[in-house]
Amino acid sequence: MGNWIINHGLTSFILVVWMGINIFLFVWFYLFYDLGDDYYYTRHLLGSALAWARAPAAVLNFNCMLILLPVCRNLLSLLRGSFVCCGRTMRKQLDKNISFHKLVAYMIALMTAVHLIAHLLNVEWYNNSRRGVYDKLSTALSNLEDTDNTTYLNPIRKTDVDAQQTPTYFVFTTIAGLTGVIITLALILIITSSMEVIRRSYFEVFWYTHHLFVIFFIGLVFHGAGFIVRKQLTTDPPHNYTLCKDRTEEWGQIPQCPLPKFGGGPAQTWWWVIGPMILYLCERLLRFIRYMQTVQYRKIVMHPSKVLELQLVRDGFKMEVGQYIFLNCPAISPLEWHPFTMTSAPEEDFFSVHIRSAGDWTDRLIDIMQHLPEGAEGPKPEYFSLADSLLFLRMGVDGPFGTASEDVFDYEVSMLVGAGIGITPFASILKSIWYKFKTSNPKLRTRKIYFYWLCRETHAFEWFADLLQRDGGRGMGDFLTYKLYLTGWDQSHATHAWVHFDEETDVVTGLKQKTHYGRPVWDKEFEEVRKENPSSVVGTFLCGPAVLGKVLEKKCAKFSDVDPRKTRFYFNKENF
C-alpha cells in the first residue's frame, strides 16, 4: 500500500476531489429541480426527466470549463517553472495533463448522453401535453398563451404541422434544439476520431476533426439561450399551485388563482467556459506570434531508418533539457502542428529534433528534405532562411514546453529508459551532462544516472552514435552508466557477437559498451539500482510505448520502500 501511495497518492486524491465535485453538482441540481417549488408545474409536464436533464447539464458546465485547461501548454509550462517550490510530486501531476483531458472528455460524453436522452423524453412529453393526451392540468399549462398578461410553459407552440412531426420540427427550428444537434454531432466526431487506432494510423483525421471543438463551444454558449426549461415566476397576486392546480377553469377569473407566468433563466454556460476560452485564445495568439518569427536551418541530416535530424535557430529561443516543441510546415499543411522532443542541449546555440517516419506528415517532410539539391545537407558555415535561399522550406516553431524529463536533475539517482526514437528527450539530457562535465566540475544534485536504450534494429544506434562515444572528462564514467538492448535480432546476430566478444568495441555499435540481446530483465535492473543506491530517491523516466510504461510503473511500486530512509522509485513518463 505504501508503494502505491508514493507513486499514485496525490493523483488519486486529485481524482477523488474531481469526482466528488461532479457528484455534488449532479445531486445538488437534481434535488433542486426535483423538489423546487418553482418547477412544480414543469415537473407535472415532464416528470423526473426534468431533473435528469438539468443535473448532467451542471456537470457538463463544470467539465467543459476544465477540458481546455490541460491543453494550454504555455500555462502548464509556466506553472512548472514558477511553482518549483511546490515540489516534484506536484509538478508530476502537470505531466498527466493529456490523461486528465481524456478523463474529462469521457465525463462530458457520458453526461451528454444522459442529457440528450432526458431532453428527447421532455420534447415528447411536451408534445403529448400539447395534444391533450394527459390530464386537464397538463392541457391547461400547455395552452397558456404568450401574451402581455402571461408567459407560456410549454415551448412547443406550433400547431399548424402534423402532430407526429412536431418534435422533429421543434428540434430543428429552435435555438436549443438546433445547437443541441450540432453539439452532439461535433462531440461524436471528436470522440470517435480520438480513438487510438485512428489517431495513430490517420493522424490528420484526428487533427482536423478534433478542431470541431470550436463549433462545440460556440454551440454550447448559445444552447442555453433557448429557454426550454422554464420555471414559475412570481405574480401579484401570487399563483399558489397547491390551491390552483385542481381549478384550472378558474385561472384568471378569481383573485386567488391568477394566470401563472413562466420564464426561462439566463444562459449560464458561458459563465463557466469564458475564462478557459480566453486562455486558449491567448495560447493560439502566442502560437501565431511564434509562427511569424523567422526560423533558420543550421543543419539537415538524414539518418538510417528514415530518421530526419533538423538543427534550427530562432532568435530568443531558450530551452531546458527534455522539453518539446510543435512544428508546422505550411508547404505540407498550414494548419497541422506536430510535437517533437528536442534532442539538443541548453548549452548549444541551436535546437534540434529527430523526426522518424510515422505518418503522412512526417513522410512528406522527410521526402522533401531527401530531395533537396545536392549540398543542402551537412554543416553550413552560414545560416539559411527562407528569404536567403529557396532551397529550404519555411518552418514554424511553437514552444518550448515542459515535460517530465525536465525533472531528471531533481533526483539523486535517475533511470532513463528510451525505446527506439524515444531516446530523444534523453539525448538532450546526455548532451547537457557531457557539456557540464567537459567545462568544469558539475554541481549537480544528481549523483548517478542509468541509461537504457531499447532498439529493434541495429541501424537505430547510429542516430546518436557520436553522442554515446563522447568522453565528458574525469568522473563522467562513474556518473553515467548506459546499456544498449537490441530487441529485434536473430541467431546470426548472436553468433557474430559471440565470435567477436573479446574485441574491445562492440561489433554492432562500435562502442566500448557491449550490446545486450533481448529485453532487459527489469527485476534484476531495479534490484541492482536499489543495492547500489541505498537510501536514495530514484526517478524513473520513460519515453516509449504504454505497455512498457505499465511494466516500469509496477516495478517502481514493487521496489520502493515505505521507509523514507530507504530507496524509493518515482515513475515519470513523457506524455504530450
Q: Which three cell numbers stand for residue 488?
A: 529485434
Q: Which three cell numbers stand for residue 188?
A: 461524436
φ, ψ dihedrals at 188, nearest 5° = -60, -45
- Name the band, by pLDDT with cuts 50, 70 and 90, for residue 515: confident
- Name the band, by pLDDT with cuts 50, 70 and 90, for residue 184: very high
- Side chain identity at residue 350, one-letter code: F
How far apart, in Å, are the Cα atoms of 169 and each of 116, 223, 445? Answer: 17, 17, 69
φ, ψ dihedrals at 403, nearest 5° = -140, -175
Q: What is the mean pLDDT of residues 275-300?
A: 91
- The candidate with the shortest Cα–Cα distance to 400, out of 460, 351, 467, is 351
pLDDT surpassing 60 at residue 392: no
pLDDT digits (tens, 9 = 90+) for 109-153: 999 999 999 998 888 888 888 777 778 888 888 888 877 667 888
Query: Among residues of the chain, what percentage have pLDDT more than 90?
Result: 22
- Side chain identity at residue 239, one-letter code: H
pLDDT of residue 255: 85
Please state whether the peptide bond connecting residue 381 to the residue before it is cis, i.e. omega within 30 degrees of 0. no
Stretch (H or E) spanning 525: helix 522-532
User: Taking the chain, what is the end-to-end CA distance rounded to the nearest angstrom?
Assistant: 29
Mean pLDDT rounded to a whole number for the chain:
81
322: burial class by Cβ within 10 Å (0-12, 13-18, 19+)?
buried
- Name the band, by pLDDT with cuts 50, 70 and 90, for residue 496: very low
pLDDT surpassing 60 at residue 374: no
Q: Which domains does the chain have, with CATH numbers?
A: 9-156+228-278 (no CATH), 299-401 (2.40.30.10), 404-573 (3.40.50.80)
Taking a C-beta distance cutoff of 8 angstroms, is the pair 424, 340 a contact?
yes
Please state whether the peptide bond connecting residue 237 to the residue before it is cis, i.e. omega within 30 degrees of 0. yes
Helix (H, G, I), strand (E, B) or coil at 2: helix
pLDDT of residue 503: 53
Query: Among residues of the chain, what percentage have pLDDT more than 70?
Result: 81
HEC secondary structure over 344-384 = CCCCCCCEEEEEECCCHHHHHHHHHHHCCCCCCCCCCCCCE
What pairs with residue 448 in β-bridges?
Answer: 413
- The candidate with the shortest Cα–Cα distance to 220, out of 359, 87, 49, 65, is 65
122-136, 473-487, 514-528, 557-571: the lowest-pLDDT one = 473-487
pLDDT surpassing 90 at residue 189: yes
How far apart, in Å, are the Cα atoms of 372 and each of 304, 361, 362? Answer: 17, 17, 16
pLDDT digits (tens, 9 = 90+) for 154-173: 888 655 444 444 677 777 87
- Name the band, by pLDDT with cuts 50, 70 and 90, for residue 63: very high
Q: What is the mean pLDDT of residues 60-73?
A: 93
Q: Which residues of 354-366 are buried (b: 16+ CB within 10 A; e: fewer)?
A: bbbeeeebbeebb
Q: What is the mean pLDDT of residues 389-412?
A: 79
User: How many other C-beta atoms are found inside a 10 Å radius of the C-beta of residue 165?
Assistant: 11
pLDDT of residue 251: 86
Secondary structure letter of residue 266 according to DSSP: P
35-49, 286-300, 371-385, 419-433: the lowest-pLDDT one = 371-385
The larger pLDDT score, comparing residue 133 to residue 197, is at 197
Q: Which three cell numbers stand for residue 122?
A: 421532455
pLDDT of residue 87: 64
Rounded-to-integer distance, Cα 333 and Cα 340, Å: 17
- Name the band, by pLDDT with cuts 50, 70 and 90, for residue 376: very low
What pairs with residue 312 in β-bridges?
Answer: 297, 351
| C-alpha dihedral sign at 438, 444, 448, 450 | negative
Taking a C-beta distance cutoff of 8 angstroms, is the pair 167, 127 a contact?
yes
Q: Which three cell numbers stand for residue 392?
A: 529550404
Helix (H, G, I), strand (E, B) or coil at 296: strand
Query: What stretches of 189-290 adopt beta strand conformation (E)?
Result: 230-233, 261-264
180-189, 245-254, 316-325, 389-398: the lowest-pLDDT one = 389-398
pLDDT of residue 377: 45
pLDDT of residue 504: 52
Number of H helices, E strands in the chain: 21, 14
167-176, 215-224, 328-337: the lowest-pLDDT one = 167-176
Q: What is the mean pLDDT of residues 506-528?
A: 74
Helix (H, G, I), strand (E, B) or coil at 168: helix
Pairing mode, strands 413-419 and 537-543: parallel
Taking a C-beta distance cutoff of 8 angstroms, is the pair 341, 425 a contact?
yes
pLDDT of residue 495: 54
pLDDT of residue 409: 84
15-24, 188-197, 325-334, 459-468: the lowest-pLDDT one = 459-468
- Name the band, by pLDDT with cuts 50, 70 and 90, for residue 215: very high
Q: How far is CA 200 from the centre of its chain?
A: 15
pLDDT digits (tens, 9 = 90+) for 71-112: 998 888 888 775 554 566 777 788 888 889 999 999 999 999
